Amino acid sequence: MRKYNEDMRTIGHKIIRLGSTPSTNDYLKLLAGQNAEDGLVVTANEQTAGRGQGGRAWVSPQGSGLYCSVLLKPDFPVEYIGLLSLFPAVAVADTVVNLTGLRVNLKWPNDVLINTRKIAGILAETKIRDFKIQWAVIGIGVNVTNRLHDLDRFNNGAGSLYTETGTDFSVQTVLDLLIFQLNLVIKYDKFESWRAQLILRWQQLCGHMNRSVSGPSVPSGIFRGLDDAGRALVETPDGLQVVTGRFKHVDE
């Protein structure tokens, strides 16, 4: 297996491990503002104020899940910033596939599902200055050993690796494989080929390709994949439209 400390730009070359913190993203953003190094990872056993997309709470009980954030300093054009939400979802999905052997589906833009239950989510937060990405903090939450009765107290429809497999995976095992997959997926030095491969892999994992979708800020239509910047394409009666909003409904 690759040794992460061989390359200071490699994700996970340094890992800060916390017991409890309000949010690994908030912790790492403070370090990013102090010029922390690219590839730094922060993990916690518990988050007391974890959050996901749209400010929604991400319940993060002690020892039940993987709660981590990754600092990146990408050098690609700012118009491709959406890719920073897609590549972690691919890495998480491939991690789960390798761990469980089960089919994993992605839901736009970066929800990770087994069967119909969401077992992981990603929150990307960035700082942009002079039309350049200064840094990106990628928060990743994976439900690992959570039991269904605990999850349903907070969010009907959520699942965990345990609920879908009956196996109590080690959080450390999930982290180790995730870091390996993140480093497989991310290749800034070959941006054009990386972008094409990332979009292709995301579409292969997508659970709603060529299906009807809709949402509060999304026109009803057929999901046709991603454009070259990683934005969603929805075919409507008025033609193919680029959308950035989340899908509330997906035709099963």
CATH of the domain at 242: 2.30.30
Residues 196 and 216 both lie in one domain: no
Task: State yes or no: pLDDT of 98 exceeds 60.
Answer: yes
pLDDT at res. 189: 65
Residues 139 and 233 both lie in one domain: no
Residues 239 and 118 both lie in one domain: no
Q: Say if residues 204 and 210 touch (Cβ distance below 8 Å).
A: no
- Where residue 49 falls among pLDDT bands split at 50, 70, 90? low
Residues 222 and 184 both lie in one domain: no
Distance CA 251, CA 222 (A): 9
Query: What separation in angstroms does the CA of 247 have from each of 141, 211, 220?
Result: 20, 12, 9
pLDDT at res. 8: 40
pLDDT per residue over 202-211, tens digit each?
999 999 999 9
* 3-state SS class at 85: helix
Stated pTM of the model = 0.90
Segment among 51-55, 215-219, 246-250 with least mean pLDDT: 51-55
Residues 126 and 194 both lie in one domain: yes
Q: How many CB atoms lie within 10 A of CB 65?
A: 27
Q: What is the DSSP string of 14-39?
A: SEEEEEEES-HHHHHHHHHTTTPPTT
Residues 22 and 51 both lie in one domain: yes
Over residues 71-87, the mean pLDDT reads 91
Residues 188 and 123 both lie in one domain: yes
pLDDT at res. 245: 77
- Where residue 52 falls among pLDDT bands split at 50, 70, 90? low
**Structure tokens of 218?**
């999304």
Residues 84 and 183 both lie in one domain: yes
Residues 176 and 229 both lie in one domain: no
Amino acid (one-letter) located at 212: S
Q: The CATH number of the domain where 171 resides is what?
A: 3.30.930.10
pLDDT at res. 7: 46
- Where residue 156 falls among pLDDT bands split at 50, 70, 90? low
pLDDT at res. 3: 38
Residues 239 and 130 both lie in one domain: no
Range of the domain at 57: 4-205
What percentage of the chain has pLDDT greater than the value 90? Answer: 67
Query: What separation in angstroms does the CA of 90 have from each of 61, 182, 184, 249?
Result: 25, 8, 10, 22
Over residues 44-64, the mean pLDDT reads 74
Residues 222 and 179 both lie in one domain: no
Residues 124 and 219 both lie in one domain: no
What percentage of the chain has pLDDT greater than the value 70? Answer: 87
- Where residue 216 falls among pLDDT bands split at 50, 70, 90? confident
Over residues 160-183, the mean pLDDT reads 95
- Report the domain count for the chain: 2
- Where residue 88 falls among pLDDT bands split at 50, 70, 90? very high
Task: State yes or no: pLDDT of 4 exceeds 60.
Answer: no
Q: Which residue has the higher pLDDT, 152 or 23?
A: 23
Task: State yes or no: pLDDT of 69 exceeds 90.
Answer: yes
Which of 188, 205, 222 corresponds to the end of one domain?
Answer: 205
Backbone angles phi, psi at 172, to 5 degrees: -65, -40
Over residues 54-74, the mean pLDDT reads 82
